[in-house]
Chains A and B, each alone.
Chain A
């Protein structure tokens, strides 16, 4: 029995085991775990102070993965999401820094700016497909980064923006993730989601079903940009500091990797991909210098054994008993 079939057959147990391993690792690293209730609170506090950035990063990464899920599920390979994240982050941070605006309104403004830019650039670029679209969005991402770098009077240029108020709480991120998941799961079940899946499979055939393919693609692109904008805004308000370098090519590829790793068949795929790619480097921390090596090896194995993403693997496992019956 291969490792994969084992995981598929015992997926619930694997899930529980993973959670268990997490708990052990966290408790070991926290080192202060004792059995008295007072110390439990202490443990929680110490855990939170060590890992709050990580937990919040998981949340914002889930949002980013969902943002690229939207375009990937439409068959569009775009890598501009890091740039839209940057637009959201800078818009929101500038608003809270200069006007003491509440976080949620600033995040909404960030989403709107990202969406507006996406709508403007989407019209011409979404005529492209495949690698050409990837190239165009890649170039756009660089334009945004360099634009932020060179408008020093507003954005602080290469020095970035400092002392951004730390307004993002865990419940802000949790609420944003829950809302985004709820909407995208509803979308996936709706006619719009079905049409997007059809476009991913055969664009020409979908168009000849009387559906305006370009409108659907633009919708996916703009909605994805808005989501990335929200993620950027939330992220900027707990990292204290942002600079243009954070929203460059590497970030774009990282977001793409989360989306592809999890799989594009369902929003849950994006969630799995984001959680895994954010936590994996932390879980492998004990490996020291070998960490990036093992990290990469695990990703390669997953892509090799489940090219349609992890979600597909779990889904196939769920379907297998039915096929046997």
Chain B
């Protein structure tokens, strides 16, 4: 039995999802007989950790601060072991531009892209380069803020005329945006879970938008607007390739404990390609990682216990 601090909430736009993930984690921890301390992450985080002396922290935060390495650095500093990836992997996952560069450098497939900071447009005349980018990527393109975990701010731009407004929207969430070639195909999510024998890929989940609207990004992970199939209806070879790619991405990005890698199965080439990785994917009742774990015969409680053991086993960075 351990004294576990569950870190939740915080100031990120994904606060609500974090609260739901944390509720479920706390429930599982209590059932497992652990002593649970709930901490809504705020200015008193360091004080709360000092007061409560947890053996380990379960980081159930999503988005800014919680998933981008900030909270992980603090936990390293105060010497509290914690679940999931360390600061550098978190930074690489949270920033889609870093993710894609790391994957590309390692020779792993990810859709072509160009990234810009707000300064590039404001001070370096990057707007002049837009037509060239548009030429190289072909339309449609997808415009994304570099660091936003949910679907917020992701826009589909069918023509060059749609790009400026999409960029403005993306800059609402971050100071860096990327324009990515749109890959048509099936949306897959592969969760990876560490274990005694190293990381293993869980069964593939497929997200199928109802009504076939692949461009409504907000609908993607909303119950009733998207169907999730786990394991996905894929032939063994394709499923294996998707899992191998996810594992490769997990290793390249330096993840630890667990993570979720989102892929597109390109309908033209039939090959999977990596869209992004989530260092702390959602753990709610409707989230994909718990569904995949369950499909692999790993209950939510077993998942939580394993992740906790991994956190305690990790030697301080």
A and B associate: no
A contacts, CB < 8 Å to B: none
